[in-house]
């Protein structure tokens, strides 16, 4: 089913004779939040909170009764919960949304199972291999679920695995770890962006925006680390041109689609990177005063241009 967003409706309206009444009706049905949409949101929120509290209760149960439980009882309880939730997803007649929320709860419980395993056999529950195993064993659920919150959990685990591996095991420098995280998140972002809007895989706007913010945050952190690290490693050779190329492509995409979010995210990232360059050059009082005026002026200019872009979009429609 085609679920148009505001930008889609603006493009269609610009290149057609769509009447204002029909546009308003479509916006009310597909974009704006009405009473049924709020009821659906509250329904999903309450189900999610119920699953979250149930999983939290299981975790606190283990924490409180840890010394009194036999190791087989520990494994049996958490595995029984995972099996029960999975069977409920496969065999019940619950709505698809409820099944996806249950599946996300099962994915979180998988992490609790590996934590119990690590505590019983002292494998190091906080090591990267804990998050790696957690990520690997929920991969199939994340792929088949078509559920953005589960995708978000999967990406959080994937990034945690990358950073912990770079910190605990990898022989390379921090800039290589940041470069790897940047590439992985960029690939994920591109994959979700190329999915057509009429596809069965529905990627909500909020999910793409979170992924854009996180990818830009990793790129900004990597660039600042490169600036302040006097012994930058081999990752710098690829990081700088890749970041520049991605930001240029993002600006072109944002201008083409009139997306203030992409343009604003890249602009604020560039401001942070330039500020880091200035701090690297000098941390004297004069430079700090100059940085103050630079940040105030640049942020004001960016906000002004974004407001102007929004007015232009409204005028064209």
Assign 126 to helix, strand or coil: coil
| Proportion of the chain above pLDDT 90, given as a percent | 25
**Has residue 278 been placed in a domain?**
yes
| pLDDT tens by residue, 154-185 | 999 999 999 998 888 877 778 888 899 999 99
* The pLDDT value given to residue 160: 93
Residue 300 banded pLDDT, cuts 50, 70, 90: very high
**Has residue 255 been placed in a domain?**
yes
Q: Which two tokens stand for residue 185?
A: 């998140």
* The pLDDT value given to residue 37: 61
| pLDDT tens by residue, 62-112 | 667 667 777 787 778 788 888 888 898 888 888 888 888 888 888 988 888
* The pLDDT value given to residue 213: 93
**Has residue 283 been placed in a domain?**
yes
- Does 274 or 34 have the greater pLDDT score? 274
Q: How many domains does the chain have?
A: 1
Say how many CA atoms lie within 13 Å of 303 toward its Cβ: 6
Task: Give the span between the Cα atoms of 131 and 111, in whole angstroms.
Answer: 8
* The pLDDT value given to residue 306: 86
**Has residue 81 been placed in a domain?**
no
Q: Is the pLDDT assigned to residue 208 strictly greater than 80?
A: yes
Task: Give the span between the Cα atoms of 196 and 274, in whole angstroms.
Answer: 36
Neighbours of 75 (CB within 10 A): 15
| pLDDT tens by residue, 115-168 | 878 777 766 555 788 899 999 999 999 988 888 888 989 999 999 999 998 888
* The pLDDT value given to residue 34: 60
**Has residue 269 been placed in a domain?**
yes
Q: Is the pLDDT assigned to residue 5 strictly greater than 90?
A: no
Q: Domain range for residue 302? A: 186-317
**Has residue 3 been placed in a domain?**
no
Which of 303, 304, 309, 213 lies closest to 259, judged by CA? 309
Task: Give the span between the Cα atoms of 215 and 192, in whole angstroms.
Answer: 13
Burial 244-278 (b: 16+ CB within 10 A, else e): eebbeebeeebeeebbbebbbbbbbbbbbbebbeb
**Has residue 313 been placed in a domain?**
yes
Task: Give the span between the Cα atoms of 130 and 123, in whole angstroms.
Answer: 9
Q: Is the pLDDT assigned to residue 49 strictly greater than 90?
A: no
**Has residue 253 been placed in a domain?**
yes
Residue 1 banded pLDDT, cuts 50, 70, 90: very low
Place of tokens 């085609």: 2
* The pLDDT value given to residue 114: 85
| pLDDT tens by residue, 231-269 | 556 677 788 899 999 999 999 998 888 888 899 999 999
The predicted model gives 182-204 an average pLDDT of 85
Say how many CA atoms lie within 13 Å of 59 toward its Cβ: 15
């Amino acid at each position: 089913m085609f679920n148009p967003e505001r930008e889609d409706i603006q493009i269609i309206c610009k290149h057609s004779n769509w009447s204002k009444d029909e546009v308003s009706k479509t916006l009310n049905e597909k974009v704006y939040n009405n009473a049924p949409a709020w009821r659906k949101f509250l329904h999903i929120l309450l189900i999610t909170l119920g699953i979250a509290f149930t999983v939290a209760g299981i975790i606190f149960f283990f924490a409180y009764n840890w010394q009194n439980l036999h190791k087989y009882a520990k494994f049996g309880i958490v595995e029984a919960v995972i099996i029960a939730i999975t069977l409920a997803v496969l065999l019940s007649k619950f709505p698809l949304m409820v099944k996806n929320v249950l599946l996300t709860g099962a994915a979180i419980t998988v992490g609790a199972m590996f934590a119990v395993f690590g505590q019983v056999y002292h494998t190091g529950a906080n090591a990267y291999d804990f998050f790696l195993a957690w990520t690997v064993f929920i991969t199939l659920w994340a792929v088949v679920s078509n559920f953005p919150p589960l995708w978000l959990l999967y990406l959080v685990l994937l990034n945690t695995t990358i950073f912990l591996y770079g910190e605990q095991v990898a022989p390379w420098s921090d800039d290589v770890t940041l470069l790897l995280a940047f590439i992985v998140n960029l690939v994920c972002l591109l994959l979700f962006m190329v999915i057509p809007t009429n596809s069965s895989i529905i990627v909500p706007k909020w999910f793409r925006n979170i992924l854009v913010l996180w990818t830009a945050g990793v790129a900004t952190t990597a660039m600042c680390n490169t600036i302040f690290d006097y012994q930058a490693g081999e990752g710098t050779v690829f990081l700088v041109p890749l970041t520049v190329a991605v930001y240029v492509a993002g600006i072109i995409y944002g201008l083409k689609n009139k997306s203030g979010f992409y343009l604003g995210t890249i602009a604020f990232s560039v401001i942070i990177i330039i500020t880091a360059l200035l701090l690297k050059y000098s941390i004297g009082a004069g430079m700090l005063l100059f940085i103050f005026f630079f940040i105030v002026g640049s942020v004001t200019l960016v906000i002004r241009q974004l407001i102007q872009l929004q007015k232009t979009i409204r005028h064209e429609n």
